[in-house]
Homo-oligomer: A and B are copies of this chain.
């Protein structure tokens, strides 16, 4: 064995980045692995677009089936995205005894279990460093570097598009819609950017991290998600006055028996290290019972960083092939996952602090009515801002609470929103505790 042959399916952004690295960094890759890694085939339906990289003659074709069945291909790299076809390609590759590398977080979050099973059964690797956090090596950190720990907390900024939009809103004072337009223009967001701004993409990544941390597929549909599309410039500014910034936060916590798992906009104290993660960057804070707090930061997307992660997986598999060992770390990092099961906590039971912005008429007794309802539900207020500035006849009353229970908060806000002095639905943002 002098070389390892790679076939890439999907010659889009990440596919082109992966091909570029395999071709341009071939020398250092060879020195590190001790084997030549050859890009033997690339399959894509589009044979004509310029991807800024010239493949060797005969490498590009539209023949995915040929690639999957080519006995000379050792590693198949799936980069077409989406669910149905990608799943079919990956399971065919695994069944053909090929190792697979993918960046497909949606597929792994929703159908990972089935694919992990096939990989384990066939004794091949299914690697996905690129599925979370772009180039930043958080998968290998969690699966290997922190393997000695019970993971207590995972908290991160995992969607670069949302983070870019929120950065523009807070640094440049842009309203949400303009910030989104800017992100689309710069290629940071799809048009429309639904899966990014509604929290789905971050929830996919969270499901993968939870699966790795706890050794069992996470029930993706039970992960709570809420997007950034209802945030206003007012909220950004009030948060700032309270000493916070707003991020689309991804949180998982081991509650002992249950796992807290949620994606939503959250207020972070400005001194917190995650609050300085701006633009399209990603970061994940992972705490283990022995290692304590650790943090990983990098570009969460893009051709070059994501390509870097894909190639690191290819190299890691090539090292195993070279050592004559086809399989070592199973996809979820647990060789013996017996008894591992993940139950997601109901959001009703979440305990956290809250920010409320009430759109109230400027009448006497309003604050006392609101405070009364909160008091009935054991929600205690830690600070209030009520300023004279009227916005369309309504005076915003803004408050922060101490830790409260989500169920109580939901019930209190329903009751408050029925008051006739309330002109609009109350804005609620969870505050990082």
B290 touches A299 (CB 8 A): no
A111 at the interface (CB under 8 A from B): no
A295 touches B295 (CB 8 A): yes
Asked if A384 is at the interface (CB within 8 A of a chain B CB), the reply is no
A289: chain B residues at CB < 8 Å are 25
The CA-CA distance from A319 to B129 in the complex, in Å, is 19
**At the interface, yes or no: A329 with Cβ under 8 Å from chain B?**
yes
Q: A308 touching B288 by the CB < 8 A rule? A: yes
A409 → chain B closest CB, angstroms:
31
The B-contacting residues of A in range 305-364, CB under 8 angstroms, are: 305, 307-309, 311-312, 314-316, 319-320, 322-325, 327-329, 333-338, 340
B145 contacts A137, CB within 8 Å?
yes
CB distance from A157 to the nearest CB of B (A): 13
Copies of this chain held together in the complex? 2
- Tell me whether A312 and B146 are in contact in the complex, defined as CB-CB below 8 angstroms, given that A296-B294, A298-B295, A305-B290 are known contacts: yes
Q: Quick one: which of A124-147 are within 8 Å of B by CB?
A: 129, 135-137, 140-141, 144-147
With A316-B144, A316-B147, A328-B319 already in contact, the answer to whether A17 and B308 are too (CB < 8 A) is: no
Do B150 and A145 touch (CB < 8 A)? no
Is A11's CB within 8 Å of the partner chain B?
no
List B contacts of A129 (CB < 8 A): 145
Q: Is A32 in contact with chain B by the CB < 8 A criterion?
A: yes
Contact A25 B290 (CB under 8 A): yes
Contact indicator B320/A328 (Cβ below 8 Å): yes
Given contacts A150-B28, A312-B145, A323-B325, contact A135 B291 (CB under 8 A): yes
Chain A residues numbered 239-268 whose CB sits less than 8 Å from any CB in chain B: none
- Interface pair A315/B147, CB less than 8 Å apart: yes
Interface residues of A in 1-47 (CB under 8 A from B): 17, 21, 25, 28-35
Return A14 CB to nearest CB of chain B, in Å. Answer: 12
Residues from chain B with Cβ under 8 Å of A322 in the complex: 328, 335
Instruction: Flag whether A382 is at the interface (Cβ < 8 A).
Output: no
Report the separation of the CA atoms of residues A375 and B29 in the bound assembly, to the nearest whole angstrom.
46
Main SS of the interface on chain A? mixed
A141 to chain B, nearest CB (A): 5
Does A227 touch B at the CB level, under 8 Å?
no
Residues B34 and A335 in contact, CB atoms below 8 Å apart: yes
For chain A, which range describes its interface: under 10, 10 to 19, 20 to 34, or 35 or more residues? 35 or more
Contacts A148-B311, A308-B149, A336-B30 given; indicate if A136 touches B294 (C-beta within 8 A). yes
Check B327–A323 contact: CB distance below 8 A.
yes
Tell whether, in the assembled complex, residue B295 and residue A296 are in contact, meaning their CB atoms are under 8 Å apart: yes
- Name the distance in Å between A279's Cβ and chain B's nearest Cβ: 11
Q: How far is the CA of A308 from the CA of B292 in the complex (A)?
A: 9
Q: Does A224 contact B (CB under 8 A)?
A: no
- Complex CA distance for A291 and B21, rounded to whole angstroms: 10
Q: A217 at the A/B interface (Cβ < 8 Å)? A: no
Residues on B with beta carbons closer than 8 Å to the beta carbon of A150: 25, 28
User: Given contacts A322-B328, A323-B325, A323-B327, could you give 16 more A-B pairs where the C-beta distance is less than 8 Å?
Assistant: A31-B336, A32-B215, A135-B292, A136-B291, A137-B141, A137-B144, A140-B141, A145-B309, A146-B312, A147-B311, A148-B308, A273-B297, A291-B299, A291-B308, A292-B304, A294-B296
Q: Which residues of A contact B (CB under 8 A)?
A: 17, 21, 25, 28-35, 129, 135-137, 140-141, 144-150, 215, 271, 273, 276, 283, 288-299, 302, 304-305, 307-309, 311-312, 314-316, 319-320, 322-325, 327-329, 333-338, 340
